[in-house]
Amino acid sequence: MDEVLGQIKPELSRLKQVDRLPTSIWMMDVLFEMFFVPFLQQNFEVAGDYAIKATSGAMPEISQRFTNDLTLAHYSSDSPHAESVWVGQHQVGFGATPAYLTAFGVPDQKSLEHHHLALVTDYRLIRALWTGLDDVLVKCASSIEMDSTAACHVMAKLGRHFTIITQWSAPGHYVRCPDLPVAVLPVYLSYTKAFYKDPRGKAIADKMIEFATAFFRPNPDWVSHDQ
């Protein structure tokens, strides 16, 4: 029996791998942590139906070459080979925990030289889209850069740094710094036409679009105060 099972297990494994649709996805690390992890948690069945390879990197060099089946980014990638769908907004600003505010006060344009920032390195990729970001980085008394959004939130929750927040991270944890610049970034989900022609490719693309449209819904509090 052991010999028989040993012979058929590789075949069963090979068939399962063939059944999974190879799917390459690219997005910024920030969007990966904020969007893709919750998407997988709520749509765990895709783990068994698709062979997903998720990557990140500098936006222009990677995603505009259409080497990925699906791309989530802050710009549209329409071309003869791909189409894009606007799925919402990524609202970004600065915030601090109550513990930080007690220790250092509210960061504003006049007091930045007394404040300490924990920065997600990926946000440097959108400097051209976020007016005033460079000014904040230059004026801060100190800053620490990390590759992970979660790591920055750990530092901020210790009460020694303020950090970058979004429309999802502010309620209950952070107080937004109203005097510091805010970026309202469009979010697009792009897919290659060849991938979308496959019914399974269309299924996961449509599922991600539906999830993203709900996820990237603008926070009306941010819109009303900053636009």
Using CA atoms, how far apart are residues 171 and 175, in angstroms rounded to an integer? 8
Using CA atoms, how far apart are residues 195 and 197, in angstroms rounded to an integer? 5
Quick one: pLDDT band at residue 181, thresholds 50, 70, 90? very high
Q: Reduce the DSSP state of residue 34 to 3 states and report it.
A: helix
If you average pLDDT over every residue of the chain, what do you get?
Answer: 83
Residues 6+ apart with CB under 8 A from 225: 178
Query: Given this model, what pLDDT does residue 31 score?
Result: 78
Q: What is the mean pLDDT of residues 4-31?
A: 68
* pLDDT tens digits for range 46-91: 878 899 998 876 554 444 555 789 998 887 766 788 899 999 998 8
The answer to whether the 2-88+185-217 and 90-184 domains have the same CATH topology is yes
At 219, list the tokens: 């926070």
Q: Residue 40's closest CA among 204, 224, 223?
A: 204
Which class is 2-88+185-217 in CATH? alpha beta
Please report, rounded to a whole number, the percentage of residues in the chain having pLDDT higher than 90: 43
CATH 3.50.50.60 fits 90-184, yes or no: no
So where are the chain's domains? 2-88+185-217, 90-184
